[in-house]
Amino acid sequence: MRWLGGRGSGNIEDRRGLGPVAAGGVGAGGIVLALIGYFVFGIDPSTTLSVVGGGAPQQEQQAGFRGQPTDEAGKFVDVVATSVDDVWTQVFRQQGQTYRPPAAVVLYDQATGTGCGLGQSAMGPFYCPQDQKVYLDLSFWRELETRFGAQGEAARAYVIAHEIGHHVQNLLGSSDRARRMGARGAESGSVRLELQADCYAGVWVAHAPQVSGGQVALDPKDVEDGLRAAAAVGDDTLQRQTTGRVAPDSFTHGSSAQRMRWFRTGVTTGDPAACDTFGSDQL
């Protein structure tokens, strides 16, 4: 995958190394309490945390370093996220609309406060519609490296494009549409939402070289790597594995075959209109 010469806009909030205390604005005790509340009582961690943390909105708690990261892993996220934003800026403009990038892509480790409650490594990457930020835990990155080896870069890029795809859905109102369709079942709103985010990731792949002046590009082999990543995080594959890992963002994504099909649709058409998983009878 080509990315080293790509532009980084620095829309990154780097909370790595701050630890859950500084990043979340609550003590370790608060996080333990929140987790106990979650596992034992089924209470949303954000509820418990707001009590422990004195009720302050979590998005106003201590922020990390904003700007362009200097390490390679951070730079990679910056360049890919900027490329994804640039593609959507162009796509929106062509439709007479204005794209607003996510409020930030947050890099963290262990746990961090978010507008959607406590973000934890075990949740994997996710997008929070409340604060419009993408949250990436870089230990999940290391796991992708371990699982995919040298192919990790394309897999990581795919994950970033998928999560920003959720932001696009938030801007376009697809998230509300999914909620109205219900959250359970193989053809539920949430599965359609996830498959559309996969397709949107493909749309980014299709336009990235042209929008970046050739600085950011995935060749066909990279695309296959991205597809394998999609396959590896499909519900059916995940359910076959008994790693003990909890990844809520992956529970309702659809099967590996469905994810690959929609990602490929985005790559081959480059057209967001082709990503209408909501209007499709066959997922």
Binding site for Zn ion (CB under 5 A): 194, 197, 249
**What amino acid occupies position 148?**
F
Listed residue (106, 127, 119) closest to 64, CA to CA: 106
- Please say which residue, 112 or 252, places its beta carbon nearer to Zn ion: 252
- Please say which residue, 7 or 147, places its beta carbon nearer to Zn ion: 147
Asked if residue 264 lies in contact with residue 273, where contact means CB atoms within 8 angstroms, the answer is no
Listed residue (203, 176, 199, 192) closest to 84, CA to CA: 203
**What amino acid occupies position 128?**
C
Tokens standing for residue 164: 């920003």
Compute the least distance from the CB of residue 190 to Zn ion, in Å. Answer: 9
Compute the least distance from the CB of residue 225 to Zn ion, in Å. Answer: 19
- Please say which residue, 18 or 136, places its beta carbon nearer to Zn ion: 136
Tokens standing for residue 171: 């801007």
Tokens standing for residue 135: 């949250």
Compute the least distance from the CB of residue 95 to Zn ion, in Å. Answer: 23
Compute the least distance from the CB of residue 32 to Zn ion, in Å. Answer: 28
- Please say which residue, 108 or 135, places its beta carbon nearer to Zn ion: 135
CA 125 to chain centre: 5
**Residue holding tokens 């996080």?**
31
- Please say which residue, 46 or 175, places its beta carbon nearer to Zn ion: 175
Compute the least distance from the CB of residue 194 to Zn ion, in Å. Answer: 5
Cα angle 117, 276, 85 (rounded to 5 degrees) comes to 55
Tokens standing for residue 271: 């057209």
